[in-house]
Amino acid sequence: MKNVSRARAVVACIAFAAFSAAFGQTYPAKTVRIIVPYPPGGTTDVLGRIAAERLAERWKQPVIVENRPGATGNIGADLVAKSAPDGYTLLVMPLDIAINPALYKNLPYDARKDLAPITAIAFSGLVITAHPSTGIKTLQELISRAKAQPGTLSYASCGNGTPHHLAGELLKSRAGIDLVHVPYKGCGLAQTAALAGEVPISINSVGNVAPLIKSGRLNAVAATTLKRDRELPDVPTVAESGYGGFDVTVWFGMFAPAGTPPDVIGKIYADVKSSFDDPAQAKRLHDRSLDAILDSPEHFKKTFNEDIDRFGPLVQKLGLRVD
């Protein structure tokens, strides 16, 4: 009986492999949906629409973007997690998806188990800025001021639990300083507050504040990525300013429902990679202060899981919860 069971298992595996291969060869045979779990117009939406436009050209099938905003991306992510694992419903979402498992007490999906990472598409750096009225121009000056006057400096972020917020808390922890967090409902409002001097320090995306830095309306203190941002090459990183290994890089990735056949995952990855590997797309990203990554599914899965493990303890340490 054991031999019969083993034989049946082998036949089942061969049959699944054959089905998967055949499925991958015929995919896609109908409309593909890309779910963007934020309102239209933002960076995630733009990346989703670039991918949809280019994939539709390659596949000769409609590829449509559906915006399903709400709950820091969780409404759209849950929709994809519960969709059929056939490659016809995809998700484009930033680093927030690796933070949300710790931030939300009762997520309706399991980010690790219910989603299959396909590729990182692009990444964006963050930059710490100070209003010129503070006189702060370097990270060392910011830290010295914070240590001399603990609890008097505040910093603006794009909201509780965002990468921008966690970058500020990570800096506080590494530098041993006390900064007061002021969350705003979105990066646009945080940028407006920083520009008006309502909050002396701010952490925002490079694309949002680079023009303000170049015009002298904000002072660039430090970049949160390991390498200097090409848009702000004269701005040192937190890591090179004395806090080695400091890195908060916001990636934007594509996911499918868990269980999607490997051949389909591989085809989507290869075609997305080809879609972004040309000068025209590089310029579109450059104009938004983004850089293409196009990570393999295996490497992106590793990055995704590492970020869940990295940010989870920080969220818990801060006592952040959204119910």
Using pLDDT thresholds of 50, 70 and 90, give the confidence band for residue 19.
Answer: very low
Region 144-162: mean pLDDT is 93
Region 7-15: mean pLDDT is 47
Contact 195, 267 (CB under 8 A): no
81: tokens are 């997690």
Q: Residue 143 has what pLDDT?
A: 98
Does 3 have pLDDT greater than 80?
no
Q: Residue 56 has what pLDDT?
A: 98
Q: What is the pLDDT of residues 43-59, one digit of tens each?
A: 899 999 999 999 999 99
Q: Residue 105 has what pLDDT?
A: 86
Cis peptide before 236 (omega within 30 of 0): no
Q: Residue 323 has what pLDDT?
A: 64
Q: What is the residue-wise DSSP string for 191-202?
A: HHHHHHTSSSEE
Q: What is the pLDDT of residues 257-309, one digit of tens each?
A: 999 999 999 999 999 999 988 888 888 888 888 988 899 999 999 999 999 99
Report d(CA 300, CA 273) in Å as an integer.
13
| Residue-range domains of the chain with CATH | 15-122+253-318 (3.40.190.150), 126-241 (3.40.190.10)
Name the average pLDDT for the chain. 90
Give me the residues paired with residue 237 across strands.
223
Does 4 have pLDDT greater than 70?
no
Using pLDDT thresholds of 50, 70 and 90, give the confidence band for residue 12.
Answer: very low
CB atoms within 10 A of CB 286: 14
Q: Residue 16 has what pLDDT?
A: 45
